[in-house]
């Protein structure tokens, strides 16, 4: 599993290059925005090339959203989609809540988080305890 993380890191870093850049004046994130995040929420983001991609919040804690990111991209914003039909790019990635909100996620729907989706999160917790 450690090999997975070594392989996933370049994808995480390169995926950041596709996120929209936000002017400094728009970098304020309100507590209300943070409170509106939903565990199991399937969120859509817009890439610089005007395509859309999805992430799912697996776990929320005081500082981070723990995400599953999918490799599928869409020319039009999806309005109703099931994450079970998507290809997983990154099974688990913790991200600062403010960083997540800066890219202006839009909630599509809330799904159940299955135990199998939490495997990467559990490995992360074990690693953090060491």
pTM for the full predicted model: 0.76
Contacts with 97 (C-beta within 8 Å, 6 or more apart), sequence order? 29, 34, 37, 60, 63, 64, 65
pLDDT in tens, 36-74: 899 999 999 999 999 999 999 999 998 899 999 999 999
| Whether pLDDT at 13 is above 90 | no
Domain edges within the chain: 2-19+39-129
């Amino acid at each position: 599993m450690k090999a997975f993380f070594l392989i996933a890191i370049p994808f995480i870093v390169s995926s950041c290059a596709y996120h929209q850049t936000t002017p400094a004046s728009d970098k304020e994130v309100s507590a209300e925005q943070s409170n509106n995040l939903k565990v199991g929420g399937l969120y859509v983001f817009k890439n610089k090339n005007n395509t859309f991609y999805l992430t799912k919040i697996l776990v929320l804690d005081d500082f981070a959203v723990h995400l599953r990111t999918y490799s599928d991209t869409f020319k039009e914003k999806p309005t109703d989609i099931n994450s079970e039909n998507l290809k997983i790019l990154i099974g688990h990635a913790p991200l600062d809540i403010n960083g997540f909100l800066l890219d202006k996620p839009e909630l599509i729907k809330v799904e159940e988080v299955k135990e199998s989706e939490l495997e990467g999160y559990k490995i992360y917790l074990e690693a953090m305890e060491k």
